[in-house]
Amino acid sequence: MSPPRSVSRLRVDLSALAANYRTVQGLTGPADVAPVVKADGYGLGAAAVARRLWDEGARSFFTARLAGGEALRRTLGPEREAAIYVLDGCSDPSDGERLAHSDLTPVLSSTAQIDVFTGFSNATGYKPAALHVDTGMNRLGVRPEEALALVETGALAALDLKLVMSHLACAITPEHPMNARQAARFRELTKSFPGVRASLANSGGCFLGPDYAFDLVRPGIALYGGGPTEAPDPRIAAVGSFEARILQVRDVPAGESVGYGATWTAERATRVAVIGAGYADGLPRSAFPGGGAWFEGAVRPFLGRVSMDLAALDVTGCETAEPGQWVELFGEHLKLDDAARADGSVAYELLTRIAPRVERIHED
């Protein structure tokens, strides 16, 4: 029996991923580019993404969860050496054991985490760590004055501190005064950590200029095809293409409605393509009104509510539309950032919500 024909798929262009890596490197060199592959590589498949980026020269990676770090270590295997940083850090001794077992580096974000990991290090001798210092976002990280106190009291002396890092709150808005303020605070702070590598920039930060690059940059979305300001950027290539098949084409007479709640009514005779993707595939339910899909040279708007497994598109005037053809929900033609905006979302969310049942196809 042949496998069932898929009705939705996510094609991942690994050459475009590599090109984006090189673009970021060109902007931030000589800093190391350390890809962030959290949330399964922003939904694109962390294993394939990380292997391709390793081939491209990446030797440091970031995951959010410990399990993501463990999976990445298995994926890279003993033959591909790399530092893997876990942003969640180390919250109890069992985390320490798992970190040590997979040779992962926790990003310690509070004095409580530092205490836990120091206790584990003293007991086992496993001590690579990164320190996250908050410079204004107030999400994760010790405060700058706490970081200085840790240095003065020698509280970090038991650890092998590989990296001191902070995170930008407003990098998608280059002119936001918060960027320069955070960079200045961070630069001041690094003086207290001589010989320790420093990292501040996410994707947006990589595009803010050399003052933001420090020793290592942590891009995510820009590698995966999202622009640094949440709008398409000509320097960034499309990586993911989310596609669905046309399942039915129907002619809806004027005056009839389409979909649940009858929220859209045809003002004139309308050709409707019903496609095999819905909110259970990751298409935002808010895609109507406003969003659409690329088909035969144009964006075709959604008609009526997105259902669980299906959505409807206006393909009026498109005589060639027929079942089996693919439409592009985002990709090379309908850019990720544009599709996200039209759907009332952002590139990050659109990518990471694509459901497991959508077939992933990695192309090189």
Ligand X SMILES: *Cc1c(COP(=O)(O)O)cnc(C)c1O
Q: Is 219 or 276 the residue whose CB approaches ligand X more closely?
A: 219
Residue nearest to ligand X (CB): 220
For the chain, give me the number of helices (H) and strands (E)? 11, 18
Q: Is 140 or 287 the residue whose CB approaches ligand X more closely?
A: 140
The nearest distance, CB 3 to ligand X, in angstroms, is: 33
Distance of alpha carbon 210 from alpha carbon 90, whole angstroms: 32
The nearest distance, CB 69 to ligand X, in angstroms, is: 14
The nearest distance, CB 111 to ligand X, in angstroms, is: 19
Torsion of CA 41, 47, 53, 59, to 10 degrees: 100
Identify each DSSP E strand in the chain by its residue range: 8-13, 32-33, 60-63, 83-86, 105-108, 128-132, 160-165, 197-199, 216-217, 240-252, 257-258, 264-265, 270-275, 292-295, 298-301, 311-314, 326-330, 359-363
First to last CA, the chain: 28
348 is catalytic: no
Distance of alpha carbon 242 from alpha carbon 330, whole angstroms: 5
Q: Label the pairing between strands 326-330 and 240-252.
A: antiparallel
Q: Is 140 or 327 the residue whose CB approaches ligand X more closely?
A: 140
Please state the separation of Cα 206 from the chain's center in Å.
15
Q: DSSP secondary structure string, 66-110?
A: HHHHHHHHHHHTTTS--EEEETT---SHHHHHHHHHTT-EEEE-S
260 is catalytic: yes
Query: Residue 243 carries which DSSP code?
Result: E
The nearest distance, CB 55 to ligand X, in angstroms, is: 21
The nearest distance, CB 9 to ligand X, in angstroms, is: 23
Q: Is 84 or 311 the residue whose CB approaches ligand X more closely?
A: 84
Query: Residue 4 carries which DSSP code?
Result: P
The nearest distance, CB 10 to ligand X, in angstroms, is: 18
| Secondary structure (3-state) at 259 | coil
Q: Is 140 or 272 the residue whose CB approaches ligand X more closely?
A: 140
| Secondary structure (3-state) at 48 | helix
Question: Which of these is catalytic: 38, 85, 162, 212?
Answer: 38
The nearest distance, CB 241 to ligand X, in angstroms, is: 19
Q: Is 208 or 339 the residue whose CB approaches ligand X more closely?
A: 208
Distance of alpha carbon 120 from alpha carbon 160, whole angstroms: 13
| Secondary structure (3-state) at 8 | strand
Site for ligand X, rule CB under 6 A: 36, 38, 87, 167, 202-204, 218-222
Question: Which of these is catalytic: 42, 126, 224, 260?
Answer: 260
Sign of the C-alpha dihedral computed for residues 222, 225, 231 and 233 taken in this order: positive
Cis bond upstream, residue 106 (ω within 30) = no
Q: Is 204 or 259 the residue whose CB approaches ligand X more closely?
A: 204
Beta-carbon count within 10 A of 21 CB: 21
Active site residues: 38, 260
